[in-house]
C-alpha cells in the first residue's frame, strides 16, 4: 500500500530522521595477523572489513512490474547504485536502465504503464528533488520536473490512471506544495490543486484532491473536504496530541471509504474504515494493546483490506482476508526470518517477499500464489553470508518514572551468553534520529560493526519514539535535553547495573536527533560518557527551527508545541536552555562531529557554531565535513571514511578493536576542519589522501 500513501504529514515529520544508507556490499573477510584462533567458539573472530559493512548492497529494493513480467532492483555500477531490470524468473539477466554517477539512486517505483520506472534525485544532498522517468530499454531518463531549487515529490500513483502520476511541487511558493498531474509518457504537467496553505492533500484513486490537511494554531490539524459550493470545510479535527499517531493511509474499494490509523479517544493507533460522506460511523478494523498499527496491506487493484501489522519488540501480522491466509502460512515455512511483502503484481498472482534476520543478509524470493511456491532470488548482501555476525536482543528497560523503554542490545559474539555478556564491556549507546522515529529489530550494519569491534551496543526507544502510543510520544513534548535525555541516562544505568557496560567506558553516538543527544550527553551530563560522536546533529535549537526548509512552514506549530516556540520570549528561553551550545563550556570529554555541507534540515551552521565555541575555549574537538553530502552520508566512500575515523576515535577512548585506515578515504570528499591530531593516525592518513587526490 506504500505507493498509495496519500497523507504527507507523517512523511514530512519523518524528514527529521537520519536516513541510514549504510548498506553492505560484497568484500573479503579480514583477519589481522594477530587475530586469535577462532576454532574456540569463545575466541575473538576476525574483524569484518568496513567496506563489507558500509559499502553498497549487491542488490536491494527489489520490485516486480505491475504486469508481473519483470523484476527490478538497485545494484551498483562502478560503486554507484542504479536501477536494473530483467525477467522475473531470470534476475541474473537483468541490465542497468540508469547510469547515475553521483550519489546513486536510493528509492524508485514502477509506473503503472509497465514501461517506466520513477525515481527522485537531488544534488549533493540538498533535497531539491527532481523526479525522473526511466525506461527498461535503457534510454536516457526523462526529467519530469526540470525546476531549480524545488523539492518535488510523488504524491500518488493509481492503476486507474496508468499514464499519469500526482506530484507535489513548491515552484509557485517555496513554502507550499501545489498538486500537479504529470503524464509519464509526454512529461506534460497539469495543475490539479493550488495549495492555499495546507500541509498536504489526500488524493483519491481518480487523482482528485479528496481532502486537504491544515495545521491549526494549537499544533493540531484538520482534514477538510469540499462542500456543495466547492468550498473547503472541516471534516475531521485531530488534536495536537494525536497528530503523530493519526493519519489517512489510503482508500478502500470505493472513493468514499478511507482507511485511517487513529488514536483519538485511545492511546494506541488503531485501524479504522471511515466513510467520507458520513453515512456510517467509523468502523474499528484492528488494534493492539501494546503498539500502534504501523503497516496496512491491501489488494493492489481492488484495495480490499487484507492484513495489518504492529511492532512492539518484533513485528506481528494479523491477516484479515482469508484469501491470503494460506499464503502467509506457506511463506512462514520458507524462511525463519521476519516476513516483508515488498512488491506485488497488479493481478496479485506474483509477490516479491523478503525475509529479514538480525544476523545475516535480507533474502529475497519470488512467490507464485497459485502454486504456493517461493523461489529464492538472492540476498542483498552475500558478502555477509558465513561471517561471524551477532544477534540483536530485544530488552525492556524501566525509566525512572516507570515508562517502559523498548530497546535492542547487541553484544560481541564471543561474549554473548544468551543475551548477556560474560563480563562488563565498553559500550556504545546508539541514539536514533527523529526524534519521531524508532529503532526496530533486524539487521543493523552499525550494531554489527560496533559489536565486531568488541563493544556492547544499545539502541533505546526513548520517549518521543513512535509506535508505542500517543502518550509515549507526548511525554516528550518540550522535553529535548530533559526527560528524553533522562531516558538515555536511565538506559546507561541499567547497562551498568546489569554488568553489561563498564561505567567509565560508555560512548554516545547518533545522527540528527541522535547527534543532538550526543551533544547533550557531553553538556548536560558531562561525566557520564567517555566520548561522543555527533552526526549532523543540531547544537542550537533556535537556529535549528529558524533555518528549517521553507516547505516545512505549515508544520511550524507542531514544532513549536513539541520542541519549543522560537517566536516567543518564553519559547526562546526554553530553546536556549536546552541547546548544547549554551553549555559548551561544560564539555570535558572527547567529541567527534560529522556534517554534510548541503544539509537543509540541520545546516552546517549547527556544527560550525559549536566547533567555533569549543575552539575559542580551547576545548578539543575533531570536526569533519563532506561538501557533497546532506542529512547523512549517502556516498559509500564518504561513509567508509567517516566510520574509519569513528572507529579510530572509539578505539582511543573505549579501547575496542580497530581496522587501520587503509585506503578507506579513497574517493571521499572528506575535509578535516578541526582536531586532526586528536585521533591517532588521522593527520597522516588525511594528508596521504589529499596528496593522492592531487592531479
Residues with catalytic roles: 512, 599, 631
The alpha carbon torsion through 369, 374, 375, 381 (nearest 10 deg) reads: 120
Task: List CB contacts of 94: < 8 A, sequence separation 6 or more.
Answer: 71, 72, 73, 75, 84, 85, 86
Q: Give the C-alpha separation, 685 to 328, whole Å.
A: 52
Q: CA triplet 575, 578, 584: central angle to 5 degrees?
A: 120
Label residue 89 exposed, middle or buried (CB < 10 Å: 0-12, 13-18, 19+): middle
Listed residue (439, 434, 438) closest to 409, CA to CA: 439
Q: Can you list the positions of beta strands (E) in 414-500?
A: 416-417, 420-421, 425-431, 456-460
| Cβ–Cβ under 8 Å, residues 95 and 84 | yes
The full length of the chain comes to 695
Q: Give the C-alpha separation, 622 to 400, whole Å.
A: 34
Task: List CB contacts of 451: < 8 A, sequence separation 6 or more.
Answer: 390, 410, 411, 412, 413, 457
For CA atoms 449, 451, 454, 455, the dihedral sign is positive
| Cβ–Cβ under 8 Å, residues 309 and 1 | no
| Cβ–Cβ under 8 Å, residues 128 and 148 | yes
| Cβ–Cβ under 8 Å, residues 390 and 412 | yes
| Cβ–Cβ under 8 Å, residues 424 and 499 | yes
Q: Give the C-alpha separation, 89 to 69, whole Å.
A: 8
* H or E element in which residue 683 lies: helix 682-693
Q: Give the C-alpha separation, 509 to 521, whole Å.
A: 9
Task: List CB contacts of 542: < 8 A, sequence separation 6 or more.
Answer: 566, 572, 575, 576, 579
Residue 107 C-alpha from the chain's centroid: 12
Label residue 283 exposed, middle or buried (CB < 10 Å: 0-12, 13-18, 19+): exposed
Listed residue (524, 516, 523, 521) closest to 543, CA to CA: 516
Task: List CB contacts of 583: < 8 A, sequence separation 6 or more.
Answer: 523, 524
Q: Give the C-alpha separation, 131 to 182, whole Å.
A: 10
In terms of DSSP H, where are the helices of 321-466?
A: 322-332, 445-452
Amino acid at each position: 500500500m506504500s505507493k498509495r500513501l496519500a497523507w504527507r504529514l507523517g512523511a514530512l515529520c519523518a524528514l527529521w530522521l537520519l536516513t541510514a544508507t549504510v548498506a553492505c556490499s560484497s568484500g573479503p573477510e579480514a583477519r589481522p595477523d594477530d587475530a586469535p584462533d577462532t576454532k574456540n567458539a569463545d575466541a575473538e573472530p576476525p574483524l569484518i572489513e568496513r567496506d563489507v559493512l558500509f559499502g553498497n548492497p549487491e542488490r536491494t529494493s527489489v520490485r516486480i512490474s505491475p504486469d508481473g513480467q519483470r523484476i527490478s532492483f538497485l545494484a551498483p555500477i562502478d560503486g554507484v547504485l542504479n536501477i536494473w531490470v530483467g525477467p522475473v524468473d531470470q534476475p541474473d539477466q537483468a541490465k542497468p536502465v540508469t547510469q547515475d554517477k553521483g550519489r546513486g539512486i536510493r528509492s524508485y517505483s514502477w509506473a503503472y504503464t509497465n514501461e517506466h520506472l520513477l525515481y527522485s534525485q537531488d544534488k549533493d544532498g540538498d533535497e531539491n528533488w527532481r523526479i525522473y522517468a526511466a525506461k527498461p530499454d535503457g534510454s536516457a531518463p526523462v526529467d519530469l520536473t526540470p525546476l531549480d531549487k524545488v523539492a518535488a515529490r510523488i504524491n500518488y500513483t493509481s492503476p486507474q490512471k496508468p499514464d499519469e502520476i500526482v506530484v507535489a511541487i513548491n515552484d509557485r511558493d517555496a513554502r507550499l506544495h501545489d498538486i500537479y498531474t504529470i503524464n509519464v509518457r509526454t512529461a506534460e504537467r497539469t495543475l490539479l490543486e493550488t495549495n492555499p496553505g495546507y500541509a498536504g492533500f489526500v488524493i483519491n484513486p481518480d487523482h482528485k484532491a479528496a481532502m486537504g490537511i491544515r495545521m491549526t494554531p494549537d499544533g493540531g490539524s484538520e482534514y477538510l473536504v469540499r462542500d456543495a459550493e466547492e468550498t473547503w470545510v472541516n471534516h475531521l479535527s485531530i488534536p495536537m496530541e494525536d497528530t503523530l499517531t493519526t493519519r489517512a493511509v489510503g482508500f478502500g474499494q470505493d472513493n468514499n471509504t478511507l482507511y485511517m490509523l487513529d488514536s483519538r479517544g485511545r492511546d494506541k493507533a488503531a485501524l479504522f474504515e471511515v466513510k467520507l460522506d458520513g453515512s456510517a460511523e467509523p468502523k474499528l478494523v484492528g488494534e493492539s494493546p501494546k503498539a500502534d498499527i504501523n503497516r496496512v496491506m491491501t489488494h493492489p487493484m481492488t484495495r480490499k483490506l487484507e492484513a495489518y501489522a504492529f511492532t512492539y519488540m518484533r513485528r506481528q501480522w494479523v491477516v484479515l482476508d482469508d484469501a491470503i491466509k494460506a499464503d502467509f502460512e506457506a511463506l512462514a515455512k520458507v524462511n525463519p526470518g521476519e516476513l516483508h511483502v515488498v512488491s506485488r503484481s497488479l493481478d496479485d498472482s506474483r509477490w516479491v517477499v523478503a525475509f529479514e534476520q538480525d544476523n545475516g543478509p535480507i533474502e529475497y524470493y519470488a512467490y507464485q500464489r497459485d502454486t504456493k511456491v517461493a523461489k529464492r532470488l538472492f540476498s542483498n548482501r552475500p558478502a555477509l553470508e558465513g561471517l561471524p555476525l551477532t544477534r540483536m536482543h530485544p530488552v525492556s528497560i524501566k525509566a525512572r518514572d516507570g515508562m517502559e523503554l523498548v530497546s535492542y542490545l547487541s553484544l560481541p559474539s564471543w561474549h554473548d551468553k544468551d543475551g548477556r555478556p560474560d563480563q562488563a564491556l565498553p559500550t556504545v549507546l546508539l541514539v536514533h534520529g527523529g526524534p519521531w522515529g524508532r529503532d526496530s529489530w533486524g539487521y543493523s550494519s552499525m550494531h554489527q560493526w560496533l559489536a565486531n569491534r568488541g563493544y556492547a551496543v544499545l539502541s533505546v526507544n526513548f520517549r518521543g519514539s513512535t509506535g508505542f502510543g500517543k502518550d509515549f510520544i507526548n511525554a516528550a513534548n518540550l522535553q529535548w535535553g530533559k526527560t528524553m535525555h533522562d531516558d538515555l541516562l536511565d538506559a546507561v544505568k541499567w547497562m551498568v547495573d546489569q554488568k553489561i557496560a563498564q561505567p567509565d567506558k560508555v560512548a554516545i553516538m547518533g545522527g540528527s536527533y541522535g547527534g543532538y543527544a550526543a551533544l547533550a550527553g557531553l553538556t548536560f551530563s558531562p561525566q557520564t560518557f567517555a566520548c561522543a560522536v555527533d552526526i549532523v546533529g543540531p547544537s542550537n535549537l533556535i537556529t535549528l527551527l529558524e533555518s528549517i526548509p521553507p516547505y516545512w512552514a505549515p508544520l511550524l506549530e507542531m514544532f513549536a508545541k513539541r520542541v519549543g516556540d522560537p517566536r516567543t520570549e518564553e519559547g526562546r528561553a526554553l530553546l536556549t536552555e536546552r541547546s548544547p551550545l549554551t553549555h559548551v563550556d561544560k564539555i570535558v570529554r572527547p567529541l567527534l562531529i560529522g556534517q554534510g555541507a548541503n544539509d537543509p534540515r540541520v545546516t552546517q551552521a549547527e556544527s560550525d557554531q559549536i566547533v567555533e565555541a569549543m575552539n575559542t575555549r580551547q576545548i578539543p574537538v575533531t570536526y569533519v565535513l563532506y561538501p557533497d553530502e546532506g542529512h547523512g552520508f549517502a556516498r559509500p566512500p564518504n561513509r567508509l571514511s567517516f566510520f574509519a575515523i569513528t572507529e579510530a576515535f572509539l578505539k582511543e577512548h573505549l579501547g575496542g578493536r580497530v581496522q587501520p585506515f587503509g585506503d578507506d578515504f579513497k574517493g571521499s570528499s572528506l575535509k578535516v576542519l578541526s582536531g586532526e591530531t586528536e585521533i591517532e593516525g588521522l593527520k597522516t592518513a588525511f594528508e596521504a589522501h589529499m596528496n593522492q587526490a592531487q592531479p
